[in-house]
Amino acid sequence: MTHGLISRQIENLLQEGTQVVLVVRRNHKNYSIFSTRVQANGEVKLHRSGTWDPEGTSPPTPLSSFTPFGDLYRDFGGRELVVAANDNWPFFGVEEVEEVEGVEGVEGEEGGAKRLRPTSGIDVSIMEALKRSLNFTYRVVSPADGKWGGPQPDGTVTGIIGLVARREADIAICEITITGSRESVVDFTWPYYLESVTLVSRAPAPKQRTFAVLWPFTLEVWLCIIFSTLAVGPVMKGVLLAPPSPPGVSAPLPRPFPLHALSFNFFRNLVVQGNLLRVKGWPGRFVFFFWYLFCFYVYALYSGTLTAVLAVPAFERPINTLNDLSKAKENGYTIGTIQDSSLEFIFKEAKGGIYQEVWQLFDHEDRTRSFLTHPDLGFDKIQSEKFVFVNPELNSKIRAAQRGRDEFYFGRQTFYPQGYGIACYSGAPFLGVFNQMLGRMISAGLVNKWAQDEVQKVSRTSSTSRKGVAGGPSAITLEHLQAAFFILLIGFLVSLLALVVEIVAKKI
């Protein structure tokens, strides 16, 4: 085998990440031993590990010199990793620094490279812990499209996943959901954080109380009450005005009551003002008894319910579940999520069920309305228009706390539990070491602690006031009772109209 052929075979093995041990003969009793090492710049080269004397006249090279290739990454030797991430606090917050020529990064609008500096976040804390433990440095880059991305139908790979798949970055970490399609182009570590997805919309507004006095009963109940009140007058007139006595039998005639007097007196029972009628006959007494009982129940239920309605604020119906989205769409809401994310993927690829129904609710004609490039845009739209944002729970709650928690509503039902992992290029030899380190962080509760730290940062800086909303029932205001005054005004106007009609009629 020629020397050139040996060199090509070793080079191929090094590119595949295979541990190589090479023994070179110096003379008949002296051999030099070379093994692979990872350099600080990321290249894998042969490094002299020792010598070998077949006759045993010199000490053997210790076995520690032939460490398995994967274990070599327990110490990166100061190597610089390229980390792909988007600006996505509370997981990975970054900021841009001045453009510097000759520094690799993201192409800016002026053609220069933008240097990105990590600020804070759960994923930043994870990277800092890995950096200290494994002895490496890292540089942050972001894709030009600003997407999380993944494999596309045309064979391309977009976003931060694409940077790793093309080996333009070593790893990607930025709240990346582990999906089957992404695993076809990159390798993922074990999931280090699990959470569900929620629906975020603007806080339900208080209902208009203009007609609050009518809320205790439904329309059907009001119609039945009106019909009963109108019907009881003629019924009592028939009871009180009994038919004439048979011939030869003298009996006192009942006192005649006009129909309008009977109807008005029975209406007075509804507002518990008593009744001036005196009935001696048993038929009339039975009618009165059951009518009084009916009025008692109606009045008690109405007054109790009205008090609760006026004292406790009532709100519009909130958006709690995926099934509520179709109704929200009918009411003028736009449904949205992050473009090219795992959430868009699950709705798009759904073959049936509620996920497929939700996919039809997105605005596919103007995709910019439903598919956003950053979570902040979703919260901006919630505050400015009718918008429902489908987004991970922790990310949403922290952003809502920044802007004022009382302005947003979170659906009671969460769905699609998902795990976040670190994306590594296919065949990355350091994947096992990353898994071990992440396992230790999770077992020690560090990831959850870092998540709580980010929440506390928001809690310390955001206002916790309820914007004047005190606990417990509030006092009844003029706004609550405006309908009652409207009714009184209508009564005055009708009475005035009746008076004018009578005056005109008498003159005619």
Q: DSSP 3-state assignment of 133? A: helix
As a whole number of angstroms, the distance between CA 508 and CA 503 comes to: 9
**Is residue 424 in a domain?**
no
Do residues 413 and 394 share a domain?
yes
Q: Which structural domain, as residue segments, surrounds residue 30?
A: 3-67
> Mean per-residue pLDDT for 319-331?
91
CATH of residue 346:
3.40.190.10
Do residues 296 and 329 share a domain?
no
Do residues 337 and 413 share a domain?
yes
Contact yes or no for 182/159 (Cβ under 8 A): no
Higher pLDDT, 335 or 262: 335
Do residues 306 and 343 share a domain?
no
Chosen domain end from 33, 67, 101: 67
**Is residue 396 in a domain?**
yes
In the structure, what pLDDT confidence band is assigned to residue 391 with cuts at 50, 70 and 90? very high
Which tens digit of pLDDT belongs to each residue from 132-185?
999 899 999 988 888 888 898 888 999 899 999 999 999 999 889 998 889 999
Do residues 326 and 304 share a domain?
no
Average pLDDT, the chain: 78
Do residues 307 and 399 share a domain?
no
Helix axes 431-443, 122-134, angle to 10 degrees: 120
In the structure, what pLDDT confidence band is assigned to residue 20 with cuts at 50, 70 and 90? low
pLDDT of residue 374: 85
Least confident among 60-64, 89-93, 118-122, 354-358: 60-64
**Is residue 492 in a domain?**
no
Which tens digit of pLDDT belongs to each residue from 199-228?
999 988 777 666 777 778 888 888 888 888
Amino acid at 288: F
To 10 degrees, the CA torsion angle through 401, 406, 409, 414? 40
Q: In the chain, pLDDT over 90 holds for what percent of residues?
A: 24
In the structure, what pLDDT confidence band is assigned to residue 334 with cuts at 50, 70 and 90? very high
Higher pLDDT, 431 or 73: 431
| Residue 459: CB atoms within 10 Å | 13
Do residues 330 and 280 share a domain?
no
| Residue 306: CB atoms within 10 Å | 18
Alpha carbon of residue 439 to chain centroid: 28
pLDDT of residue 71: 54
| ∠ CA 146-149-153, rounded to 5° | 130
Do residues 380 and 291 share a domain?
no
| Residue 291: CB atoms within 10 Å | 19
**Is residue 110 in a domain?**
no
Do residues 341 and 278 share a domain?
no
**Is residue 135 in a domain?**
no
As a whole number of angstroms, the distance between CA 212 and CA 480 comes to: 7
Do residues 319 and 392 share a domain?
yes
Do residues 303 and 354 share a domain?
no
Chosen domain end from 272, 295, 311: 311
pLDDT of residue 204: 83
Higher pLDDT, 399 or 64: 399
**Is residue 296 in a domain?**
yes
Do residues 285 and 360 share a domain?
no
pLDDT of residue 471: 52
As a whole number of angstroms, the distance between CA 85 and CA 79 comes to: 19
Q: Is the pLDDT of residue 382 over 70?
A: yes
Where are the strands (E) in 261-403, listed by range? 334-338, 371-372, 387-392
Higher pLDDT, 308 or 329: 329
In 312-325, which positions are buried (b, 16+ CB within 10 angstroms) versus exposed (e)? eeeeeebbeebebb
**Is residue 111 in a domain?**
no
How many separate domains does the chain show? 3
**Is residue 366 in a domain?**
yes
Q: Is the pLDDT of residue 52 over 80?
A: no
> Mean per-residue pLDDT for 231-235?
78
Chosen domain end from 51, 67, 83: 67
Which tens digit of pLDDT belongs to each residue from 407-429?
899 998 899 888 999 999 988 88
- Residues with Cβ < 8 Å from 203, sequence gap 6 or more? 406, 407, 408, 409
